[in-house]
A and B are shown apart, each in its own frame.
Chain A
Amino acid sequence: SLLQSTLQCFFNQS
């Protein structure tokens, strides 16, 4: 099954 990832998995906190 597919899970919805969040953006923090890809982009850094700045």
Chain B
Amino acid sequence: ARLLHGSIFAKVIEGLRELVNEATWECSGNGITLQAMDSSHVALVSLVMRSEGFESYRCDRNMSLGISLVSMSKVLKTMGKDDSLTIRVNDDSDSIIIAMESQNQDKFADYELRLMDLDSEHLGIPDTDYSCAIKMPSSEFSRICRDMSIMGDSVLICTTKEGVKFSAKGDLGQGSIRLVQTTNIEKEEEAVIIEMKEAVALTFAVRYLSMFCKAAPLSPQVGLSLSEDTPLMCEFKIAEMGHVRFYLAPKIED
């Protein structure tokens, strides 16, 4: 799998590695997918990178590759900003080859990372018709998570027709941030758009939402989909090629 802009892949890994330290990559002719849960089974990430999004892609037989995302992140940190990236696994090999090429083709770096045997648990995620779908700048969402974490461990997300309100309370007191829907969309990237069938009020652990925000550099916009008594879905699109979707179980009444 070759990417002209290897930085896209580095951003994917950076977006996942805090939530899941290691994961099994499923490779097929259609592309690369991954599903993994955090160790406490509260959050899940689902990644799709379709084959047509790569400069070139070939997969002769389906493979499951156990990879340490922490190690991969370290390797990818050595990559130059404009380097291209090729990922390769040879038949019967126990390692993955990560090759980087500088833009003017005067530097070539190759790394081999050992593959791991991982027990992976797969969950069936039903197609959900969410009550609310919010789109907002991903930088804004990151900031809200950071700001709400000052006040408490949990954030209550409430939606109305007018907007969406994030609030948190704790020993210090309480705080809230309300975003109103953008009425005059000039720049789509900066818009706050709320599609609502029913109002929702759900509470989530801020710590996990903040971890999801590590994927924010992938996309200028984030999508939050919410329904009562349903895990939140937080989506970052990977330009033209797929998405990273995070799911987070809500906090529920005792």
Which residues does A use to contact B, with CB under 8 Å?
1-14
Main secondary structure of the interface of A (DSSP, over half): mixed
Q: Is the CB of B251 within 8 A of A13?
A: no
CB distance from B153 to the nearest CB of A (A): 10
Q: Is the CB of B123 within 8 A of A1?
A: no
Q: Is the CB of B251 within 8 A of A7?
A: no
Which residues does B use to contact A, with CB under 8 Å?
37, 40-44, 121-126, 154, 203, 205, 230-231, 247, 249-254
Q: Is the CB of A2 within 8 A of B254?
A: yes
Q: Is the CB of A7 within 8 A of B123?
A: yes
Q: Is the CB of B43 within 8 A of A7?
A: yes
Q: Which of chain A's residues has its CB closest to B231's CB?
A: A10
CB distance from B61 to the nearest CB of A (A): 22
Q: Is the CB of A3 within 8 A of B251?
A: yes
Q: Could you give 20 example pairs across A and B, Cβ below 8 Å?
A: A2-B154, A2-B251, A3-B252, A3-B254, A4-B42, A4-B249, A4-B251, A6-B40, A6-B249, A7-B37, A7-B42, A7-B123, A7-B231, A9-B249, A10-B230, A10-B231, A11-B123, A11-B247, A13-B121, A14-B124
